[in-house]
Chain A
Amino acid sequence: MFELLGIPPQALFGQLLLGLINGSFYAILSLGLAIIFGLLNIINFAHGAQYMLGAFVAWMLLNYLGVSYWWALLLAPIIVGITGVILERLLVSRLYHLDHLYGLLLTFGLALIMQGVLRNQYGISGLPYTIPTQLAGGQNLGFMFLPNYRGWVVAASLVVCFATWFVIEKTRLGAYLRAATENPTLVSAFGINVPRMITLTYGFGVALAGFAGVLAAPIYSVNPNMGADLIIVVFAVVVIGGMGSILGSIITGFGLGLIEGLTKVFYPEGSSVVIFVIMAIVLLIKPAGLFGRTA
């Protein structure tokens, strides 16, 4: 049915656009993971659960307090970020001196707890969350019908990703952060509260996941397992981009979204595995990932 040459260029363009939209989620999520890994050396397996938490918080804000989507977009990441800060202070911070493995196992456990609690409370079928009226409807682009909301997702994630990259790579604050990961003792000697900075960084990375969750709520079903399978893919994205590379995770996120989009057209069955194939190849050829610095 869909052969390489059988596809009109316009339809292909539509599919690429869709790939870009999925890529936006990969980009925000992998960006958060990369920041946490790069600056804290923690592999945050709870990231998928925190993304799910963002969607749930948005749903709760709307249904219990009547808070609109736009406020939820601001509030939910802050709330999720605060839970992240609490977790970091209580648990994660005690593991920095240990092997990566322990951070991974701890956050994996945390993810299970979050999923289990919400599942007990809200069941598994998922909760409806409607698209805000301002973004309902769509544009007929000629080659495809683009829902306004999807366009907004791409725009919002591009802005957030670029802003984050800018802060970390180009500002003084970002410089402190980067310095603190290289040599915390030296940086604290300059009078900077390193542990607090690290805590806030974790909170920010988690808040990014929460933000992606709110973005996702109206298009994917809000259910306790929404992050469980995604996390594995996002991990692959981070690894392909190079663990801890900020720009790498953004570019790889969008890029893999596109590649996955193309796979969906030419070999739909394989679209769930294509990212892992790429990951295996990249790691075998370029051990530190595409944008990573070799340790």
Chain B
Amino acid sequence: MTAAVETSGIKVRQVSGGMPRLHIAIFIALLAAGAVAPFLLYPVFVMKVMCFALFACAFNLLLGYTGLLSFGHAAFFGIASYVCAHTAKVWGLTPELAILLGTAAAAVLGLLIGALSIRRQGIYFAMVTLAFAQMVFFFSLQAPFTGGEDGIQAVPRGNLFGLISLKSDFTLYWLVLAITLGGLLAIYRIIHSPFGQVLKAIRENEPRAISLGYRVNRYKLATFVLSAALAGLAGSTKAIVFQLASLTDVHWSMSGEVVLMTLIGGMGTVFGPLVGATVIVTMQNYLATFGAWVTIIQGVTFVVCVMLFREGIVGVISKWIKKPL
């Protein structure tokens, strides 16, 4: 994780003294951008960007801050989206409950998979998570409630708290914006809490952390579960927005996509995955007419990123202004 180490070389001074001013400014700017966006852009598109941004940030919590590369994060994203869609459609739950249940399902799955895989490191960790994700995919294909390759369609958006109808894209938009910013703030809090500092210590020198008396595996597992739950939150929200849950969400290429987003934005930075997700989703959306060119352009992006700026977009900016982002 050379790049991650490089960016983290710039230390955050204020651990307990609240957010640095720059970050407060960025959060306010994000909130402002979020408030303006639906009037300028197509709201459903912006919601999609937000769901993936949250997913990428959740993934980055694991990769960027504990150095564990999971190649199976689609499992959490997808299973949450299935559970959310099923509970909203078949059980008739209100959207907030369905989203919570989806998130909880992802957390439980994260606990199971995490407990088994965090003992492995590096590429072996990536492979174990991939193996489990493939089993989850198999389960999603076979289980009767997931609807096979048709997925769960026509999921009702329902009424928030049983009161506010989410049928209009605009109303739903504010909910998604709240969830995304909430998730982002939560991740920010986790990273800058004492818990987050221990994670950094582990990533930079695991034996030292052990010798200091930290139960390293517990910290890793806790992060894994948090990351899985937040990925689940993103997946559940996506199910409500698009009113469907499908195999695309659990397929391994989704796990690959989230790695791409994080890498492009800059792993180990708070705001990088957000930027990465925006870039990728926008690209997929506006290049959809070009057919096979999408694949080629994505491939070129990968290569260019790895060869020229491994710190990612935000990583480069952060180095440039000499402040952590």
Contact = CB atoms under 8 A, between A and B. Distances in A.
A232 B124 contact: no
13 contacts: A105-B305, A106-B306, A108-B302, A109-B301, A109-B302, A109-B305, A111-B299, A113-B299, A115-B295, A115-B299, A120-B291, A280-B131, A284-B119
A287 interface: yes
The number of chain A residues touching the other chain, given as a range, is 35 or more
Given A100-B122, A283-B124, A105 B302 contact: yes
B76 to A, nearest CB: 16
Interface of B: 1-3, 69, 116, 119-120, 122-124, 127-128, 130-132, 134-135, 138, 142, 252, 256, 259-260, 263, 291-296, 298-303, 305-307, 310
A110 interface: yes
Interface in A76-116: 91, 94-95, 98-102, 105-106, 108-116
A108 B303 CA distance: 9
A100 B310 CA distance: 13
A283 B1 contact: no
Query: Nearest 4 pairs between A and B by C-beta?
Result: A109-B302, A112-B299, A116-B296, A116-B295
A176 interface: no
A112 B252 CA distance: 14
Interface string A220-232: 0000000000001
A28 to B, nearest CB: 20
A279 B2 CA distance: 28
A278 to B, nearest CB: 9
Interface of A: 43, 91, 94-95, 98-102, 105-106, 108-117, 119-120, 232, 235-236, 239, 243, 269-270, 272-273, 276-277, 279-280, 283-284, 287-288
Contacts, number: 112
A109 B308 CA distance: 14
B134 A273 contact: yes
Nearest to A113: B299
B131 A277 contact: yes
B139 to A, nearest CB: 9
A108 B256 contact: yes
Contacts of B2: 98-99
Contacts of B135: 273, 276-277, 280
A121 B59 CA distance: 36
Given A106-B302, A112-B302, A113-B299, A239 B124 contact: yes
